[in-house]
Chains A and B, each alone.
Chain A
């Protein structure tokens, strides 16, 4: 069966410090991978998605970057965190082989990031 791991679960970082959040998927190959941010009272904002190793699409201009060094590994990074980067970050995957446009996403448990 497929599983998705996301860590750490909670992170408190000072403004200006770097960030690295990691997400790995097991039990599937060639997944589509996603990073979302969830702010309080707001929906999920898609930050990045990837359809293959080294292929990253950015949805919004921001202080963050993403990388996919391996097929089932997705990393969210920042060189210098801002206060506005605080939020709940969710990684998700979906299967490459699926019915047309059926993009069921499977989510990790999330990382709550507080930038102080």
Chain B
């Protein structure tokens, strides 16, 4: 079935690294995404990775993809209080119109 799973909460101290993990089920997914949602707002794309890549780095963000285990992670280096938000993992199913989102991980950053 179609399912994306991620833990619901993560708490880190300011300046530490945050790692948010996700597992997905559809092996035909060609793109996987991380979206960020700030309180009371819509989602914004943070980054995405194509399935033939193992890693993608974009400034403080590092995405790791393990296709064998269907595991995706987002690492935020030097986490700031402004990074406090909900982070959603998502996959686009083969065919391209449907994107399945996880439940979101709420990141708390303590000063």
* Residues of A in contact with B (beta carbons under 8 Å apart): 6, 32, 36, 41-44, 46, 49, 51, 90, 92, 98, 100-110, 112
- Per the 8 Å Cβ criterion, residues 71-111 of B in contact with A are 88, 92, 94-104
In the complex, which residues of chain B have a beta carbon less than 8 angstroms from the beta carbon of A101? Answer: 29-31, 92, 94-96
A contact residues around B29 at 8 Å (CB): 101
B97 touches A44 (CB 8 A): no
Contact of A43 with B4 at beta-carbon distance under 8 Å, contacts A103-B97, A104-B33 already known: yes
Q: Which of B94, B98, B103 contacts A49 (CB 8 A)?
A: B98
Given A42-B103, A43-B104, A101-B31, A32-B44 contact (CB < 8 Å):
no
Q: Which of B4, B41, B48, B97 contacts A104 (CB 8 A)?
A: B48
Among A90, A101, A110, residue most surrounded by chain B Cβ atoms (within 10 Å)? A101
Query: How many A-B contacts if CB must be within 8 Å?
Result: 64
CB < 8 Å: which of B30, B42, B43, B103 contacts A102?
Answer: B30
- Would you give the shortest CB distance from B110 to chain A, in whole angstroms? 21
Q: Is the CB of A102 within 8 A of B92?
A: yes
Which of A6, A43, A51, A110 interacts with B97 by CB under 8 Å?
A51
B contact set with A: CB distance below 8 Å = 4, 8, 29-31, 33, 40-45, 48, 50, 88, 92, 94-104
Residues in A with CB closer than 8 Å to B41 are 109-110
The distance from the CB of A22 to the nearest CB of chain B, in whole angstroms, is 15
Interchain CB contact under 8 A, B42 and A43: no
Q: Give complex CA distance A32, B96 in Å.
A: 11
The chain A residue with its CB closest to the CB of B43 is A107
Interchain CA distance A104-B31 in the complex, whole Å: 9
Whether the Cβ atoms of B31 and A43 lie closer than 8 Å is: no
In the complex, are the beta carbons of A43 and B92 less than 8 A apart? no
Separation of A98 and B92 alpha carbons in the complex (Å): 13
CB distance from A56 to the nearest CB of B (A): 12
Per the bound structure, the CA–CA distance linking A42 and B105 in Å amounts to 10
In the complex, the answer to whether A108 meets B42 with C-beta atoms within 8 Å is yes
Contact of A90 among B42, B92, B94, B103 (CB under 8 A): B42
